[in-house]
A and B are shown apart, each in its own frame.
Chain A
Amino acid sequence: SSHEHKLNFKKSKELCLSYIQDAVLQKQWKRAAEFLTFYIESLEKDFSREYVGPSEIIWRIGTEILCHHSRSSMKEFNSFIEQMKTLRVKRYLKVCLEHAFHLLCNGLIDEAYENLSVAESWRFGEQTVIQDKEMKLIRAYRGVLDYYSWSKQKNVLMERGQDGFEDLSVEQEMHSCFRKAAVNLKEIIKIPGVWDLFVKCYVDLLEFYGDHDEARQVLNEYAYNSKFPANPNAHVYLYEFLKRHGESKKSLISALKILHDTVPSHELMIEFNTMLQKSKKRKKRRLGLKVIFAALDYAGWKENVKAWSCLARQVKQIVISEKRLYWIKQEWNSRKDWWPAFHFSRYLAKKNWQENESLSHEKALVAGILLGKDCKYFKYVSHQGCKAQVKRFRILKKFVNKHNPVYLRISR
């Protein structure tokens, strides 16, 4: 609160705005609405030359309040937004777009579609050119909604097709939706950007109609064109596509390799490791080991049995073959300082044993090899396991004991 006694319009409205912001931050919607009513007249600064943005402030804050206030309805919100659209021509399309989002979030898909269509037909001199990007987005989202309709109709047809019925009108409509969607989606993904949603929809359409080449090209562009921002999802989509179409292991691996480089903790890493372990090439198998170790560096994987079993399997295999122990050594070198506390503490031993026997089993194997049979984790788990007379733990104990010298070689 200011004790400034000189007060003018500008300061008065700044003060008012600060009250609004406080109220919004504290989620006091009634109070925020109250102060907003006093702020609104700042739209009327007709006889001053500056126009700093009360209209944008009112749009954004008004939206917040109407979204959260218990007594506001969708109807009120719509009427408010319509006013905001007329308020500032330079922002017209942006407001339309956000309005559509809001409608979608409230499940009003048809209304959203209508809004987007209306916005699409808007023309306003040079503003239409200036707001070209927003226009493309509007078309793109309308394209998504067209895709959604297409998808619904496709499902209808598939069901009916099974019953032996054929519905020509539905089919025609479906195709028309496809055309509408395709044209707009294709446009936007040409522009560098993050367009996961659009790409997915478009590729789905292309695949359905059998245009695999186009689909592949789109995905490649999206993943490899350096003008586009780096996007791990692009590689995921490409990989999934290649998998669907039975592409060679080589291309699959190269797609996933980039993913490993950018997002080592990605969930596809298990699949990647599995693929690599099966490879005949030594380099690939080594990469597999690297991949799985890297994944387990991340806290999100700590309790993932599958991941640990991949690692355990590979470690076991290497140990048994007694070849390539240096692979393990190299991976372990950078981890031996912190993995023990991170994965193999006594606390975790207890916890894992209590909560997830299989997890503890896999981890114990890895621990036993990497840290030796005397390490806390292995000792505890194997002891518990043998006490409970679970067969696999006895096998585990034997295995680790047998291969203990390996630990010594690794740890040097």
Chain B
Amino acid sequence: RDFNERCAQCSEVNWGLTDGGRFYCKSCHNVTERTREVVNTDFISNARVQTISKGLRKEEKTDGDCEWYVCEGFQLVLKKQAEALEALGVCPQMKDKILCNFWRCYLQKSKQAYCNRPAGETVKALSVCDSSTDVDSEPERPGLLHLLSLSESEGDLQTDCSFASSTSKVSASTSVCSGSVDGRFYLMKNQKENLRMTMPMTLSFCYMALLWLREPMTLSDLLRFVVEGHIPYLNVFQHFPEKMKLCGLDLKIFCVESWPAYEEVYNKMLELAAFLDLPRFPDITDSCFLHPDILCMKYLMEANLPDELHNWTCRVVKKICIGEADFLTLVPGNKSTRKVKYDVLAAAVIVVVLKLLFLLDDHYEWLLSDFAEERNKNNKEGGPYFEFKKWYKVIKCSLDVEQKKLDEERAKYLWRCEKPLFYSAKKKSKVLKRRQMVVNLQNQFGKLCGSVRPAEKRNPSSFQLSWSEEDTNGSCFHGHSLKGILQEKCGLLTAMNPDYWLCTVKLCTEKLCGHLAHYREVDFPQSYHFVLRLFSFLLRIQPSYIHDEVCMIEHKLFNKRLCKKPKYNRGLRK
């Protein structure tokens, strides 16, 4: 606005500002060498309003690109993810109401939008603090793409990249350190007060929304769908519109080279919930999918275990009060309660029940199985008795096959996508050439192996293993009876197994070392390890996580005894 010279080409006075801080004529797109030296807050803030209020239809720059902010990028990502979840059957409310609102709340709290004060420090002499534009408190527009209000000026469009030097090899003279306007700032900002957005965090957002709605999808399900490609995550930037160019530091933000870990996503979700000052989440009651009673049922089915075990899991859940809404429901910010991982908890309950009934000391379960086999011979009425040995053989076989498949899939994973990425324009041609070569080589060798493309995407399914009662080879154990390993006592059926061994006598302090216990395969019986391995495969997490939960449950279960007898030993009677 202050620049009042006439344009050399078209003699108009209609100036805009490029990324590089140079003036350009909006009429004829002639770029001058003049750079903005004078600070003018009005100019800057108005420009910002102008750019943002138009959503993505920004002012055309000479090469057809537009200015975009990192948070807009993430917004697009979330939108895509929400759409995918909807396609998987999640209720549409999630996208339009819940996730949207969470996101807005986040933007506001992290002062990237919907507020009237700048966030973060500015870098250079540009004093760009108060922009006098108003806070826009308009209600939601349809769709997520239109951010209405302004964000603070991250202002400094100068090309000094010294603060970003640790993260990129971009030289100071290039005007494109990132395709986004604030890419640099994103990576270097002091993020103690703010929760900086990352790609894994998009999944935390999704999960948080799912949890709020109590949708029947656990975190492990969600992450599995991500890996299987049903939910955009890897290379989601290829869905950005053409005009949003990604390069330089944007790559660090949006390109992931690893699958998000369960712990990471989960912990971030907790942080996020606290950051957003969310109230207590809707109660998880015993009719919710996430309730241990229901999840246990699902996992029992998937693990091909008898339905009758469900009674036992319910008993354990009841006994240690982990079925209560107060225990299960998330209260953000409350540091005193241990946060619940529903899927891991349910799996651990099943493991404990198996230990209760079968002991799993590499000895007793086999004896018991032989015993059941004997009883089965005389068993004419009703269903067969459950034999651990048979179950073990069937499951081990399937598990090995599936695990092998999974390992091969992992080895065959393709990380690159069609849309090439490059740090800077200079590298573009090199990258494109390289991509061409890769495609050629892939084709060449692909011809040699017959099939060219990787395996078909698996159909999204909640169940990874399924067993049918119609299988004539008797490999489905759902209907088997536990009578073979139970005995009658005072009119009640109780386990024949009188013993139990604790995974650990003393729990670690979680805050210090992050775990309740430390799992090493060699320290524990093979059967126990096998059972952990099974659920580890189903949930796609390390066995040690399940082991931690098992320890926690056991300590709750045997709490009284542990308190009474500090010198605990094996051979505890229930």
Contact = CB atoms under 8 A, between A and B. Distances in A.
Given A3-B403, A47-B421, A19 B411 contact: yes
A1 B412 contact: no
Contacts of A47: 251, 255, 421-423
Interface string B439-454: 0111011111111101
Interface in B437-496: 437-438, 440-442, 444-452, 454
B410 A12 contact: yes
B139 to A, nearest CB: 40
B403 A35 contact: no
A41 B416 contact: yes
A30 to B, nearest CB: 5
Contacts of B412: 16, 35, 38
Interface in B231-277: 251, 255, 257-259, 261-262
B415 A41 contact: yes
Contacts of A62: 441, 445
B441 A58 contact: yes
Contacts of A172: none
B343 to A, nearest CB: 13
Contacts of A34: 445, 449, 451
A12 B413 contact: yes
Interface stretch (B81-89, B364-372, B535-543): B535-543
B563 interface: no
A80 B261 contact: no
B184 interface: no
A5 B541 contact: yes
A36 B421 contact: no
Contacts of A180: none
A106 interface: no
Contacts of A330: none
B449 A31 contact: yes
Which of B427, B445, B541 is packed against the most chain A CB atoms within 10 Å? Answer: B445
A19 B405 CA distance: 13
B414 interface: yes
A1 B407 contact: yes
A92 to B, nearest CB: 15
A47 B421 CA distance: 8
A40 B442 contact: yes
A40 B448 contact: no
A43 B448 contact: no
A15 B411 contact: yes
A276 interface: no
B408 interface: yes
B171 to A, nearest CB: 15
Interface stretch (A65-73, A225-233, A367-375, A390-398): A65-73
Nearest to A5: B540
A15 B169 CA distance: 29
Interface string B307-347: 00000000000000000000000000000000000000000
B411 A16 contact: yes
Nearest to B255: A47
B431 A46 contact: yes
A333 interface: no
B280 interface: no
Given A31-B449, A47-B421, A3 B440 contact: no
A1 B403 CA distance: 9
Contacts of A18: 411
B441 A80 contact: yes
Interface in B505-537: 533, 536-537
A121 interface: no
B449 A37 contact: yes
Contact of B445 (A1, A40, A48): A40
Contacts of B447: 71
A9 B257 contact: yes
B249 to A, nearest CB: 10
Contacts of A46: 421-423, 427, 430-431, 434
A404 to B, nearest CB: 72
B404 interface: yes
B435 interface: yes
A41 B431 CA distance: 12
B88 to A, nearest CB: 22
Contact of B415 (A5, A9, A79, A87): A9
A412 interface: no
A303 B259 CA distance: 67
A40 B438 contact: yes
Contacts of A334: none
Contacts, number: 118
Q: How large is the interface on A (under 10, 10 to 19, 20 to 34, 35 or more residues)?
A: 35 or more
Given A46-B423, A83-B440, A37 B452 contact: yes
A8 interface: yes
B259 A7 contact: yes
Contacts of B411: 12, 15-16, 18-19, 35, 38
Interface string A24-53: 000001110111111011011011110000
Contacts of B408: 19
A279 B251 CA distance: 83
Contacts of A7: 258-259, 410, 413
B397 to A, nearest CB: 16
A6 B542 CA distance: 9
Contact of A37 (B261, B403, B413, B445): B445
Contacts of B410: 7, 12, 15
Contact of B434 (A38, A44, A48): A44
A41 B446 CA distance: 13
Contacts of B533: 3
B223 to A, nearest CB: 9
A49 to B, nearest CB: 8
A85 to B, nearest CB: 11
Interface string B285-322: 00000000000000000000000000000000000000
Interface in A53-96: 58, 62, 65-66, 69, 71-72, 76, 79-80, 83, 86-87
A298 B39 CA distance: 93
Contacts of B451: 34
A162 interface: no
Contacts of A15: 407, 410-411
A321 interface: no
Nearest to A20: B411
Contacts of A43: 434, 437-438, 441
Nearest to A72: B448
A248 interface: no
Which of A15, A29, A79 is packed against the most chain B CB atoms within 10 Å? Answer: A15
Contact of B444 (A2, A8, A76): A76
A87 B434 CA distance: 8
A80 B447 CA distance: 13
Given A40-B441, A41-B438, A6 B258 contact: yes
B413 A38 contact: yes
A65 B444 CA distance: 12
A38 to B, nearest CB: 4
A44 B257 CA distance: 12
Contacts of A31: 449
Given A19-B408, A46-B422, A37 B257 contact: no
Contact of A44 (B416, B449, B541): B416
Interface in B156-170: 169
A400 to B, nearest CB: 69
A5 B261 contact: yes
Q: What 7 A-B pairs come out closest when comparing CB atoms?
A: A8-B258, A34-B449, A1-B407, A9-B257, A33-B448, A16-B411, A33-B449
25 contacts: A1-B403, A2-B407, A8-B258, A9-B415, A10-B257, A15-B410, A18-B411, A19-B408, A31-B449, A33-B449, A36-B445, A37-B446, A38-B412, A38-B413, A41-B415, A41-B438, A43-B437, A44-B434, A46-B421, A46-B427, A46-B430, A46-B431, A46-B434, A71-B448, A83-B437
Given A46-B423, A46-B427, 8 more contacts: A1-B403, A3-B533, A5-B540, A33-B449, A38-B414, A41-B416, A43-B438, A80-B441
